[in-house]
Chain A
Amino acid sequence: MMGQFIQQLINGLTLGSVYGLIALGYTMVYGIIGMINFAHGDIYMISAIIAVTVLTLLGSLGIMAVPVALLITLVVAIVFTSVYGWSVERIAYRPLRNASRLAPLISAIGMSIFLQNMVQLTQGARVKPINALLPGGFELFTSNGFTVHLAYTQIMIIAVTAVLLVVFTYLITKTSFGRQQRACEQDRTMTALLGINVDRTISMTFVIGAALAAVAGVMVTVYYGVVDFSIGFVAGIKAFTAAVLGGIGSLPGAMLGGLIIGMIESFWSAYLSPEYKDVATFVLLILVLMFRPSGLLGRPEVEKV
């Protein structure tokens, strides 16, 4: 039983890292303009589709060395996906900056529908399989006839996530962009009065969110090896749930929420029923919010009158 437990822990950690990376994008955008960026899941999906294209292209060019191929794919996916993130903000959200809370939500839902169908039209509706880029892995140990596997892709996902988190934390806490970003979160008017270009900061937030989602998209492509145009919706909802679970607006909270949801999914699938794993996720969300209305790490909001 120990073996099964460890295996699920590894699987959950992998899945949770991906959810966490996407959740960071949600929570950053929510923190700075207070809206649910419903199209974020589709940004992640676009990155996965781009990754398939790039990997196929590299394969046809004969570039098969794993680190090189992976690095090129990551860079290309980040660049193009960031442009998508930027454009989404520019087209659908910026004109609605001063509108009521629901207006950007609706245009975000519209954007999500648009992106999904755009990809379905331009890239086809079929599932896209790619050859395993990084097959194999370690066999950690065997107990009671159950062998615990740690795939190379899992190591890659966990390692890349860890590195990214360090870079990201540095970016937010130490750089001048990070300071501007946090200032905008607290008070946009005051920040603008201090001579900071609020619009550009918000655009940059979308670009960074999209870049994180792009990394998640590339890694999922390499991990599962299949991608289609509809993967964005479910991943987006899970990641948003993760962001809310951790306390929306809180960056460590998003990562924590992602890990918790990854764990629940893999443990629930292994020990109980895979059909109801999503039900378990949402029930847990409702339970947590009943007792901690601002999420696990969120600060309770004090309403000023």
Chain B
Amino acid sequence: MTTHAHNLPNVASRLKDATGIALVSLLLGVPMIGLKTVDAGGALAIATRWPWLLAFVATMFVGRLVLQFVLDHVKLNKAKRARTRPEIGATRPWLKWIGYGVVGFALVLPIAFSGNRYVVDTATTVLIYVMLGWGLNVVVGLAGLLDLGYVAFYAVGAYTYGLLSTHFGWGFWETLPVAGAAAATFGVILGWPTLRLRGDYLAIVTLGFGEIIRLILVNWTDFSGGPNGIGSIPRPTFFGLPFSPDSDAGPTFASFFHLEYSPEHRVMFLYYLILVLALLTNLFVSRMRKLPVGLAWEAVREDEVACKALGMNVTNVKLSAFAIGAMLGGFAGVFFAARQGFISPESFVFSESATILAIVVLGGMGSQLGVVIASVLLVLLPELGRDFSEYRMLMFGAAMILIMVWRPGGLIAHREPTYRLAKKGAQA
């Protein structure tokens, strides 16, 4: 109560603060909002938008006042904000139940929305990002390696399927392990020379690697089709039964099960396919965490020097995390190529890597559930903004900043070690 009473007379200082913000907004706004260069018959001419600028500055002024007012009343706990890495041992069993709930919801979603193809399609996109997020989580969340070029492995997977299926007629299921192996190989090729680098050097090297892969795909036209990409990639089949209207070539999915042909079958099949792949990824990763190599990932993340001192081969530990993360990215890439039926280097740009990394970090590093929540958020946000599509990427960027500032440790900050020493006396 005392702090509250203390804060009330500060109206003058609040106004001063808001005036400062308005002044800065004015400076920010003049060159971008106030003035605009427009094309006037070949040469540029200046157009002014002073009313907009005024509105912007006024909004910032009022917004700052409101924000301060709200912050005063919420009494934002500074100490709580600063603690971005939660204490080890903060167990939250209810998270597990939320996880089961989410899986249950994912299972019934296509049935609940069976008439709505758009919802199922969007959910499929969400699940691709969930799978990519879980893959990258191995590298970033568990092993603590900053990878800014994860999309390269996604691209390797997608192009492996695209090339093998269009040139050699390989099917989805045969290609899956090959593409995973190819992506993992690329992971090792990149990781072997570079993994001894410190965090941020590794970040720029992985970023460069992602760009190298993309530039090769763009420029090596004979191999990858260049900027035009690869088209008419065959869709996955249900154990050999294609999702097509009745054909002479053999039984289709619809005719085999005596169903009426509907294009929705394929949409739902793709959804369940990525759901199964994603759940297998989750199972695989959570099992890996309990193996010695998985424990080693977390140990290296927490203290690399101590691990070295204990005689661990840190490079091999990191390399295994890198290869497994790459392999999972490759799997997701195969699915992506099979779903789209068309791939081009456009799909594998840096902003895609940034989005996947944002999903991992926004979700809370190392948290499997956090990845799901962040994927839903980051995929749905631009989708919801489709009506005013010009602003969606603007809002996307702003949301990334706001979520990070609001919860620096991620939405579900999770730092539960897989194994812990038993407490004294309480022998487990």
CB–CB A100/B205 < 8 A: no
How many Å from the CB of A28 to the closest CB on chain B? 15
B390: nearest chain-A partner, CB-CB = A121
CB–CB A283/B212 < 8 A: yes
CB–CB B32/A118 < 8 A: yes
How many Å from the CB of B199 to the closest CB on chain A? 7
Chain A 91-123 against B: per-residue CB contact (8 Å), 1 yes, 0 no? 110011011111111110111111111110111
**Which size bracket describes the interface of B in this complex?**
35 or more
Return chain A residues, CB-CB under 8 Å to B306.
Answer: 305
Interface check B99, CB cutoff 8 A: no
Chain B 33-56 against A: per-residue CB contact (8 Å), 1 yes, 0 no? 101111100011110000000000
Return chain B residues, CB-CB under 8 Å to A30.
Answer: 200
Q: Which of A2-10, A125-133, A167-175 contacts B (4 or more CB under 8 A)?
A: A125-133
The complex places the Cα of A119 from the Cα of B39 at a distance, in Å, of: 16
Interface check A56, CB cutoff 8 A: yes
The complex places the Cα of A116 from the Cα of B401 at a distance, in Å, of: 14
CB–CB A123/B32 < 8 A: yes
CB–CB A244/B201 < 8 A: yes
The complex places the Cα of A4 from the Cα of B396 at a distance, in Å, of: 46
CB–CB B39/A106 < 8 A: no
* CB-contacts of A229-263 with B (<8 A): 233, 237, 240-241, 244, 248
Interface check B399, CB cutoff 8 A: yes
The complex places the Cα of A76 from the Cα of B393 at a distance, in Å, of: 29
CB–CB A282/B209 < 8 A: yes
Return chain B residues, CB-CB under 8 Å to A113.
Answer: 351, 354, 393-394, 396-397, 400
B140: nearest chain-A partner, CB-CB = A102
**Which size bracket describes the interface of A in this complex?**
35 or more
Return chain A residues, CB-CB under 8 Å to B44.
Answer: 52, 56, 128-130
Interface check A293, CB cutoff 8 A: yes
CB–CB B212/A110 < 8 A: no
CB–CB A91/B401 < 8 A: yes
Q: Which of B22-30, B89-97, B290-298 contacts A (4 or more CB under 8 A)?
A: B22-30
Return chain A residues, CB-CB under 8 Å to B208.
Answer: 241, 281-282, 285-286
The complex places the Cα of A91 from the Cα of B404 at a distance, in Å, of: 11
A291: nearest chain-B partner, CB-CB = B193
CB–CB A57/B31 < 8 A: no
Residue in contact with B31 in the complex, picked from A50, A130, A285, CB distance below 8 Å? A50
A115: nearest chain-B partner, CB-CB = B397
Residue in contact with A99 in the complex, picked from B30, B200, B391, B409, CB distance below 8 Å? B409
Return chain B residues, CB-CB under 8 Å to A100.
Answer: 84-85, 365, 408-409
Answer whether A121 and B46 are a contact pair too, CB < 8 Å, given A83-B24, A87-B28, A293-B197: no
* CB-contacts of B339-364 with A (<8 A): 350-351, 354, 357-358, 361-362
Answer whether A117 and B199 are a contact pair too, CB < 8 Å, given A100-B85, A278-B215: no
Return chain A residues, CB-CB under 8 Å to B198.
Answer: 293-294, 301
CB–CB A106/B400 < 8 A: yes
How many Å from the CB of B164 to the closest CB on chain A? 24
CB–CB B39/A110 < 8 A: no
A114: nearest chain-B partner, CB-CB = B397
The complex places the Cα of A241 from the Cα of B200 at a distance, in Å, of: 11
How many Å from the CB of A125 to the closest CB on chain B? 10
Return chain A residues, CB-CB under 8 Å to B411.
Answer: none
Interface check B207, CB cutoff 8 A: yes
* CB-contacts of A275-305 with B (<8 A): 275-276, 278-279, 281-283, 285-286, 289-290, 293-295, 301, 303, 305
Interface check B241, CB cutoff 8 A: no
B193: nearest chain-A partner, CB-CB = A290
Return chain B residues, CB-CB under 8 Å to A157.
Answer: none
CB–CB B361/A275 < 8 A: no
B408: nearest chain-A partner, CB-CB = A99
CB–CB B211/A56 < 8 A: no
The complex places the Cα of A80 from the Cα of B219 at a distance, in Å, of: 39
Return chain B residues, CB-CB under 8 Å to A303.
Answer: 305
CB–CB A102/B361 < 8 A: yes
Residue in contact with A106 in the complex, picked from B24, B35, B362, CB distance below 8 Å? B362
CB–CB B358/A106 < 8 A: yes
CB–CB A119/B32 < 8 A: yes
CB–CB A101/B199 < 8 A: yes
* CB-contacts of B138-189 with A (<8 A): 140, 146
How many Å from the CB of A297 to the closest CB on chain B? 14
Chain B 372-398 against A: per-residue CB contact (8 Å), 1 yes, 0 no? 000000000000000000110110111
How many Å from the CB of B365 to the closest CB on chain A? 7
Interface check A60, CB cutoff 8 A: yes
Interface check A124, CB cutoff 8 A: yes
CB–CB A110/B358 < 8 A: yes
* CB-contacts of B313-360 with A (<8 A): 350-351, 354, 357-358
Interface check B119, CB cutoff 8 A: no
The complex places the Cα of A136 from the Cα of B396 at a distance, in Å, of: 44
A83-B28, A105-B146, A110-B404 known, 14 other contacts, Cβ within 8 Å: A98-B84, A99-B84, A100-B365, A103-B404, A105-B203, A106-B361, A110-B399, A113-B400, A117-B393, A244-B200, A275-B218, A275-B219, A276-B215, A293-B201
**Interface set of B (CB-CB < 8 Å, partner A):** 24, 27-28, 30-33, 35-39, 43-46, 81-82, 84-85, 140, 146, 193-194, 196-201, 203-205, 207-209, 211-212, 215-216, 218-219, 305-306, 350-351, 354, 357-358, 361-362, 365, 390-391, 393-394, 396-401, 404-405, 408-409
Q: What would 30 A/B residue contacts be, using CB atoms closer than 8 Å? A: A50-B31, A52-B44, A56-B45, A60-B45, A80-B27, A80-B30, A86-B24, A87-B28, A95-B405, A100-B409, A102-B140, A106-B358, A106-B361, A106-B362, A107-B404, A110-B396, A110-B397, A113-B351, A116-B393, A118-B394, A121-B390, A121-B394, A123-B36, A273-B219, A276-B219, A282-B212, A289-B201, A290-B193, A290-B194, A303-B305
